[in-house]
Amino acid sequence: MRIFNIPDKYRSSVISKIKAERKTDDPRGKDYSPSILDFGKVRFHIARHFGFCFGVENAIEIAYKAINENPTKRIFLLSEMIHNPTVNSELALHGVQFIQDTNGNNLIDWEELTSDDIVIIPAFGTTLEVENILNSVGINPYHYNTTCPFVEKVWNKSEELGNKGYTVVIHGKVNHEETRATFSHSKTNAPSIIIRDINEAKILSQIILGEISISNFNKHFAGKYSDGFDIEKDLQKIGVVNQTTMLASETEDISALLKTAITKKYGEENLQNHFANTRDTLCYATNNNQNATLQLMNTNADIAIVVGGYNSSNTSHIVELLEEKFITYFISDETKLHSKDSISHFLLSEKSVVSSKNYLPKKEIINIAITSGASCPDATVDKVIKRIISFF
């Protein structure tokens, strides 16, 4: 497996040893049971898979390569490198400027760029429209392109579907950088539509089956489909791809639901002519992290702690899973652990940071389930663990 050249401060002293030992015992990573760190008063149940994935380490390596190779030039990132505040703020400390926010709103006008500037494409990729702007300025958008290979795999599958006459159904968040990029690439090759969840998949299924009027289409999917989308024609042959950080199980459920609708309309014998098999677009890291989280839910933990950026999609889905069983605290780093009795954490339901008291149970031995998102450095998880230990 490739070893990436990323700053040592992102490496860990505790987590790296645990991961190395697990890799030795289970080189294929198929044992999803958590590791246990027992400190007597507090016991940590640590997810089998979490932290930087291949795509994230690749992106960080390329970003620092751009910084080191261009000491006299202005360096820009299209938007956040990954959804982690520590990584992005440290890139900013090296002089990197951000052209857009995470919603695609410009923080710096395109007119301010020159052909001497360096622009880094983030791990989420970018739209063809932005690539064209950079090319028109005289900036090569591919020189420091950190787009995750698994995102590009989705783009390639979308192109393949389009070439075979399929419409591409994208399971994703319409304002997320990755989904915007995937939609931009997909719509050049195929009619394309974005659906957020299983509820929107049910509506799309009902439209396919004629159970609700096609007049409802725009009500539910305005701004989420490609120009010239023909509802009657473009829903006859479909294939489902996803934003790689979505819940893999939800993508599979959406695919199964739409497959059932297509089967009902065209018959089992004609299914392969109307519904494409796209299981190979699911990201391995997202799958592993989510499967490890499901195993973490089998522990007897008193609480769960998830570490990562609050705008990180894959981290949010891990939080959603753990919240089904545990009181779960979503924190960005160890500084949110103020004391043994006070914590600041992000509530997904309210999209805001709140403070809670007495978050650690008053027990002789406290069991804590802990994991992080794919964009969170292991060193940050280390610091969270050490901070909690310091309270005892």
Identify the CATH number of the domain in which residue 24 sits: 3.40.1010.20
Q: Classify residue 142: in a domain, yes or no.
A: no
Look at residue 1 in the predicted model and tell me its pLDDT.
Answer: 63
Catalytic residue status for 177? no
Task: Give the pLDDT confidence of 224-250 residue by residue, as tens digits.
Answer: 999 999 999 999 999 999 999 898 889
Res. 40: pLDDT tops 90? yes
Task: Give the pLDDT confidence of 163-207 residue by residue, as tens digits.
Answer: 999 999 999 999 999 999 999 999 999 999 999 999 999 999 999
Say how far apart CA 142 and CA 35 lie, in whole Å: 40
119 and 227 inside one domain? no
Look at residue 69 in the predicted model and tell me its pLDDT.
Answer: 97
Q: Classify residue 2: in a domain, yes or no.
A: no
Q: Classify residue 41: in a domain, yes or no.
A: yes
Res. 281: pLDDT tops 80? no
Contact indicator for 248, 292 with CB cutoff of 8 Å: no
Task: Give the pLDDT confidence of 286-316 residue by residue, as tens digits.
Answer: 889 999 999 999 999 999 999 999 999 999 9
Last residue of a domain, one of 281, 306, 331: 281
Q: Can you give the residue range of the structural domain that contains 296?
A: 8-53+285-390
Residue at token pair 């049910």? 202
Candidates 80, 90, 131, 178; catalytic one: 178
Res. 161: pLDDT tops 80? yes
Res. 54: pLDDT tops 70? yes
User: What are the tokens at 21?
Assistant: 């030992």
In sequence order, which ranges of the chain are alpha helices (DSSP H)? 15-25, 54-69, 85-93, 128-137, 149-163, 177-186, 198-208, 217-221, 231-234, 248-266, 284-296, 313-323, 378-390
| Count of all residues that appear for the chain in the document | 392
Q: Classify residue 3: in a domain, yes or no.
A: no
275 and 238 inside one domain? yes
289 and 368 inside one domain? yes
Say how far apart CA 184 and CA 125 lie, in whole Å: 11
Q: Classify residue 119: in a domain, yes or no.
A: yes
Look at residue 2 in the predicted model and tell me its pLDDT.
Answer: 77
The one-letter amino acid at 128: L
8-state DSSP, 225:
B
49 and 70 inside one domain? no
- Mean pLDDT, residues 37-58: 95
User: What are the tokens at 200?
Assistant: 């929107």
Contact indicator for 186, 168 with CB cutoff of 8 Å: yes
Cβ-based neighbour number of residue 326 at 10 Å = 20
Sign of the dihedral defined by the CA atoms of residues 294, 295, 299, 302, in that order: negative
User: What are the tokens at 322?
Assistant: 């753990």
* Structural domains in the chain (count): 3
276 and 163 inside one domain? yes
- Mean pLDDT, residues 77-86: 92
176 and 261 inside one domain? yes
Res. 280: pLDDT tops 80? no
- Mean pLDDT, residues 280-290: 83
Say how far apart CA 275 and CA 256 lie, in whole Å: 10
Degrees (nearest 5) of the Cα angle 112, 115, 121? Answer: 80
Look at residue 3 in the predicted model and tell me its pLDDT.
Answer: 81
Say how far apart CA 226 and CA 145 lie, in whole Å: 26
pLDDT bracket for residue 73 (50, 70, 90): very high
Residues 6 or more apart whose Cβ sits within 8 Å of residue 112: none
46 and 60 inside one domain? no
- Mean pLDDT, residues 29-56: 95
Res. 107: pLDDT tops 70? yes
Q: Classify residue 234: in a domain, yes or no.
A: yes
Q: What's the N-to-C CA distance of the chain in angstroms? A: 38
- Mean pLDDT, residues 97-108: 94
